[in-house]
A and B are shown apart, each in its own frame.
Chain A
Amino acid sequence: MPMEQIEIEKLIKASLPGAEVEIIDLAGDNNHFSAHVISSAFAGKSRIDQHKMVYDALGDKVGGVLHALSIKTSIKKD
């Protein structure tokens, strides 16, 4: 797995412990990614807030090196 992908996954997991993270390199160019994040921390939150939690985990990477990150969030059922 390329560095960027591992890094994204690590940052999200650090911020959302116990989350399942699936990163896909959409174009195979190490630049366009999609992240599917499944976390119990999303329960009771609006979709906007769920996405914000993922953005927060990635900090200033989003909009910078990560121009193209598509996010999908799901609530983890225990």
Chain B
Amino acid sequence: MTDQTSQDIQTTIDNNSVVLFMKGSKEMPQCGFSSAVVNALAYLEVDFKDVDVLEDGELREGIKKFSNWPTVPQLYVKGEFVGGCDIVKEMFETGELNTFLKDKQIPHKE
């Protein structure tokens, strides 16, 4: 990963409270795992920035090194890596995601 890619990722998660690095866009996810996270966030009415890793090969590989996490999607809240699809889904199902968003003061549907 180039320093530039790493810096770009850092800038994106610094400037947006909730960022989802995903395959496709939130309007049109290109992968079931990405789609599942979009659905959870949409259900909770969370405003988030989507970044399509398919549009940039550097980013697609870079994001995995950045977080030391081998898969996409990846969710970041207030600069913190929350997890991938399985973790977000599990947090959503247990209600943990709701609590987490509240703790982080992210506006969402209770």
Contacts and interface: CB of A to CB of B under 8 A. Distances in A.
A and B physically associate: yes
Interface residues of A, number: 11
Contact of B86 (A52, A62, A63, A70): A70
A51 B86 contact: yes
B68 A52 contact: yes
A63 B64 contact: yes
Main secondary structure on A side of the interface with B: mixed
Interface residues of B, number: 14
Interface string B81-95: 101111100100000
A47 B83 contact: yes
Contacts, number: 28
Given A52-B69, A55-B70, A63-B64, A71 B86 contact: yes
Contacts of A6: none
A72 interface: yes
A69 to B, nearest CB: 8
Given A52-B68, A63-B71, A72 B90 contact: yes
Contacts of B71: 55, 62-63
A51 B85 contact: no
A52 B84 CA distance: 11
Nearest to A50: B87
Contacts of B87: 47-48, 51
Nearest to B36: A70
Contacts of A72: 86, 90
Interface of B: 32-33, 64, 68-71, 81, 83-87, 90
10 contacts: A48-B81, A48-B87, A52-B68, A52-B69, A55-B70, A62-B70, A63-B71, A70-B85, A71-B86, A72-B90
